[in-house]
Amino acid sequence: MNHAFPCGTPALDFVGTLRARRNAEPLEKLATPALLDDWFVESGTLDAAPGANEAEVAIAVRLREAIYDLVAARLHGRPLPAEAVAEVNLHASGLPVTVRLAPEGVTLTGSVSQALATLARETVRLVGGEEAALLRECARPECTQVYLDRSRGHRREWCAMRTCGNRVKAANYRARQNASQS
């Protein structure tokens, strides 16, 4: 598996394909058409790789950054950037992924643009709906994952406890141990 899905929604997990975005050299998880294909299949957006090309990777990255701009605006109480709204709305108006009932269950097929349309429509509902109030950014300084805090009490701090939460807690423990030994 090439990708992680800790955010609670495919659109936010898609934003997370640029890891550590505040670092001098963030980690691009959609660097090739094959990685984009893998993301669509691993996320459950499509059942089979759509066969992305380099131009579609560039389009996907542009949409990802527009989604991030909208989410960041909601997180920080700023107006939604017009360019990002236009980009997301453009994709949201595209054809949906084809959903079919087959003997083995539901199948999801489509092109890169259809998969991106699915993510854009989800973004419209998320950023424009009540769940926008649940948006949080991971409290680990090196992480920039944005997630939906659906926890009881809405006090979740980490995108994922098994990664970021454990790292922060282990670092805090080591700091306390070092302080007590001094």
The CATH code for residues 10-134 is 1.10.3300.10
Average pLDDT estimate for 112-140? 93
pLDDT over threshold 80, residue 112: yes
In tens, the pLDDT along 67-98 reads 999 999 999 999 999 999 999 999 999 999 99
In tens, the pLDDT along 97-109 reads 999 999 989 999 9
Model's pTM, two decimal places? 0.86
Q: Is 9 or 142 the better-scoring residue by pLDDT?
A: 9
Give dist(CA 66, CA 86) in Å, integer: 9
Domain boundaries, the chain: 10-134
* Full 3-state SS string of 51-119: CCCHHHHHHHHHHHHHHHHHHHHHHCCCCCCHHHHHHHHHHHCCCCCEEEEECCEEEEECCHHHHHHHH
Average pLDDT estimate for 137-160? 77
Which residues on neighbouring strands pair with residue 136, listed in sequence order? 147
